[in-house]
A and B are shown apart, each in its own frame.
Chain A
Amino acid sequence: MSSRLVRLAAIGTAAGVFSGLFGVGGGTLIVPLLVLWFSYGEREATGTSLAAIVVIAALAAVAHGIYGNVQLAEAFVIGVPAVAGVLVGTAVQQRISERVVAGTFALVLVASAIVLVA
């Protein structure tokens, strides 16, 4: 097994631990690890992170669905406007520099850390 595969497995595992513990998708770990460990560009890291999150969240959603915890109507009320938002967000991201993406991500991480500790 190549070291690259081992490192990808480590990112997947870390993201899984995070989502298993705190119930979120793990994107706050995947993007920095792809940038700092794999030398991805910021845009490429965010795009690849979203692809990984599709798989992570779908697996977890099926597990929760089996237990009957998923409310589909509510998911669509919040999810459909979010789809409109992500179209805007990805389009805007192509027009700003990767430095701004990195800086925005750093701010979100600080906010998330504060919420976690508070």
Chain B
Amino acid sequence: MEAWEIAGAAAVGLAAGVTSGLIGVGGGVLFVPGLVIFMGLSQLGAEATSLVAVVLVALVGAWRQHGYGNVRLRDGILIGALSPLGAAAGTVLANTVSERALELSFAAVQLYFAWRLAGRALFPPAPQSASLPGGGDPRGRDHGP
């Protein structure tokens, strides 16, 4: 590893970490190209190695957010524990549907979410006392029956 390679990877890592803390993603989208470009890893090696960095970042980020009172631990662990089911389904899907169709449909889902979140940014919903259309649970129902 050359010094400039280490500096480049560190800069990408720092940017990925800040993004992760700000918006709650793992940072893999930045780690993977960073590892390919600066550490010379293959795409597969970078994706696998990125996961270790994601664990580190998410662990520290979740710990900090827990301290700020922003983590519903039970929900988070449930989502995580149920993900392997989806990962298996994703692997099957990847082998049956064309890659282009998958890319386009996920891009469409992301754009829809972007539209909805932009709506919240520009016209924020009333605080939690407002009625919640669409069957959303009011906050605080975490310990329901």
Contacts and interface: CB of A to CB of B under 8 A. Distances in A.
Given A82-B17, A82-B20, A48 B83 contact: no
Nearest to B12: A78
Chain A interface residue bracket vs B: 35 or more
Contacts of A70: 48-49, 51-52
Contacts of A15: 79, 83, 86
Contacts, number: 407
Nearest to B71: A47
B32 A23 contact: yes
A31 to B, nearest CB: 5
Interface in A59-118: 59-61, 64-65, 67, 69-72, 74-94, 98-110, 112-117
Contacts of A60: 51, 87
A31 B111 CA distance: 14
Mostly helix, strand, loop or mixed at chain A's interface?
A: helix
Nearest to A54: B58
Interface in B67-102: 68, 70-73, 75-91, 93-94, 102
Given A77-B39, A99-B121, A64 B80 contact: no
Given A24-B29, A32-B117, A78-B12, A88 B21 contact: yes
Interface string A16-38: 11111111111111111011111
B144 to A, nearest CB: 7
A67 B34 CA distance: 22
Nearest to B10: A81
Mostly helix, strand, loop or mixed at chain B's interface?
A: helix
A9 B144 CA distance: 17
A4 B86 contact: no
Interface in A27-57: 27-32, 34-57
A85 B32 contact: no
**Most chain B CB within a 10 A radius of its CB, from A12, A44, A78:** A78
B56 A52 contact: no
Given A12-B78, A91-B64, 4 more contacts: A43-B65, A48-B73, A79-B56, A113-B114
